[in-house]
Chain A
Amino acid sequence: MDGLLPDLDVIRKDFPILERTLDGGHKLVYLDSANTSQKPQVVIDAMVDHLERHNANIARAMHQLGAESTAAFEGARDTVAAFLNAPSRDEVIFTKNASEALNLVARTVPLGPGDRVVITEMEHHSNIVPWQLATERAGAELRWFGITDDGELDLSNIDELLVPGTKVVALTWVSNMLGTINPVAEIARRAHEVGAVVVLDASQAAPQLPIDVQAVGADFVAFTGHKVTGPTGIGVLWGRSELLNAYPPFLGGGEMIATVTMEKSTWAPIPHKFEAGTPPIVEAVGLGAALDYLSHIGLDAIHAHEVAITRYLLAGLASVSGVSVLGPLDAARRGGAVSFELAGVHPHDVAQLLDSRGIAVRAGHHCAKPAHRRFGVQASTRASSYLYTEPAEIDALIDGLEYTKSYFKVG
């Protein structure tokens, strides 16, 4: 199969959990990577090593361990900056996850009555709800791009949506439900023409596409650590310096101040202005190790692998009668998360049957209820691959779907 990572067997050995045997003696078939990715040994080891040998609080501990811990944490920031091709490491803010990163922008971007925020119907709830809250708070207007029948963004009314007074355009780079890769650079260019700030949710893009924040022309890019083979508890917001400098702080607390009196405080320079309190230190170290790992393999190679596996998955799904895929059918134009329906069997029941054979998928609305509603679907089953996914796992899924159909006596 063209496009697969050449050392797939070696890569799979980097992920100890792939050796797991589940109840009933089934070998794990992990097809839920868009939910969270598995972790390579190098990430686990980096975190354990930090906790065993270097643990101390950062930036305030006046001892050797404090210096080592600070260097490891700030080293991770350098790694993230390089991963994103950010112009400055100070533009990289560590958050708890992508949701917190998006909330940070939604809470601090200046918005007033009559302003407009534009999102899309294919957003994860984490890029919908913060904007609902922000526009309600400011008396601003929330509008959105719809979705075409093919699962692409409907840009036919872009002139009507992006008008002067549009202050924010927030959208996902890659849909977590439909898999669609959106033309974010083009939308960013159009948004900038009306003076809007462009916020990209790269949670599903960062694991599988080369991310260049300068080339894409966005103002903010958010992603989460746990989907890029890093740990949970750490996310990233990259933002342009002039905006981060201009916006007010998000959370107040330790380490985000320049000075504090009982009457008033002043703020530390970015990124620390947006990092109140002790940050997720070991999680940042883990994230740094994860991004080093991905960069070592190469995002172009990982993307090619995802396209090859997704093409094989789409072909497999097409061979099962009763399966209908939600989203684009061209593997080259989509990410590796594929949502589908199986006629006559509810997604929970599909997932339960697959789980009984050791196959992990996601079932439900995938935190994208509006996108499901757009297609008249209440829930779907989603299989999502990553750099460690091998064709035999797709075969197991397809066999599992045929078994599901026979169990429920459909088709």
Chain B
Amino acid sequence: MDLDSLYQEIILDHYRTPHHAGLREPFEAEVHHVNPTCGDEVTLRVHLDGVTVVDVSYAAEGCSISQASASVMTDLVIGKPLPEALEAHAAFLELMQGKGQVEPDEDVLEDGIAFAGVAKFPARVKCALLSWMAFKDAALQAQGVSS
């Protein structure tokens, strides 16, 4: 397996300097997700204003892939209308479950396309999805609170 296809420079950059890290207020929903096989954890909060994702804040412990994925995810969804953020979620999920056969759309996933190589490492797919799943869970809960 080609390591450099997994550890893209963009991923390592996000790992070293994660964006939007830390837990902030206000928020309408907070979730805690774990990857039970490896112990990676994320606590994640979502703040919505109407349908707009105003803030996503998080405290995560885990490997480079899971940390970088959280950072990229927040870049993609903060400031977006929730339906658009959930579309990005769906596109990322499709990419991760595509076994390396899915061609990512940079317009939708931006830095997230760097994770295309992760899809070829089945053991690491869950790492990349951890914060995305937490975001969807929290966003839907937050939407329920505000509506």
Contacts and interface: CB of A to CB of B under 8 A. Distances in A.
Interface of A: 23-24, 346-349, 352-353, 355-356, 363-365, 369, 372, 378-379, 407-408
B124 A348 contact: yes
Contact of A23 (B1, B37, B63): B1
Which one of A24, A349, A365, A379 has the highest number of Cβ atoms from chain B below 10 Å of its Cβ?
Answer: A349
Given A352-B124, A378-B39, A379-B39, A346 B64 contact: yes
B41 interface: yes
Nearest to A369: B39
Given A364-B37, A379-B39, 18 more contacts: A23-B1, A24-B1, A346-B62, A346-B63, A346-B64, A348-B40, A348-B63, A349-B64, A352-B121, A352-B124, A356-B1, A356-B3, A365-B39, A378-B39, A378-B41, A378-B61, A379-B38, A407-B3
B90 to A, nearest CB: 26
A349 B38 contact: no
B12 interface: yes
18 contacts: A346-B62, A346-B63, A346-B67, A348-B40, A348-B124, A348-B127, A352-B3, A352-B6, A352-B124, A353-B3, A364-B38, A365-B39, A372-B39, A378-B40, A378-B61, A378-B62, A379-B38, A379-B39
Contacts of A23: 1
Given A369-B39, A378-B41, A407-B7, A349 B63 contact: yes
A347 B37 CA distance: 13
A369 B39 CA distance: 8
Contacts of A353: 3
Q: Which 8 A-B pairs have the closest CB atoms?
A: A348-B63, A346-B63, A365-B39, A364-B38, A356-B3, A378-B61, A379-B39, A349-B64
Contacts of B1: 23-24, 355-356
Interface size class of B (residues with CB under 8 A): 10 to 19
B12 A408 contact: yes
B138 interface: no
B3 A347 contact: no
Interface string B10-32: 00100000000000000000000
A361 B7 CA distance: 19
Given A352-B6, A352-B121, A347 B61 contact: no
Contacts of B38: 348, 363-365, 379
B92 to A, nearest CB: 19
B83 to A, nearest CB: 33
A407 B65 CA distance: 15
A111 B6 CA distance: 52
Given A352-B121, A369-B39, A347 B63 contact: yes
Contacts of A369: 39
A348 B62 CA distance: 8
Contacts of A363: 38
A23 B67 CA distance: 27
B119 to A, nearest CB: 15
A21 to B, nearest CB: 14
Nearest to A350: B63
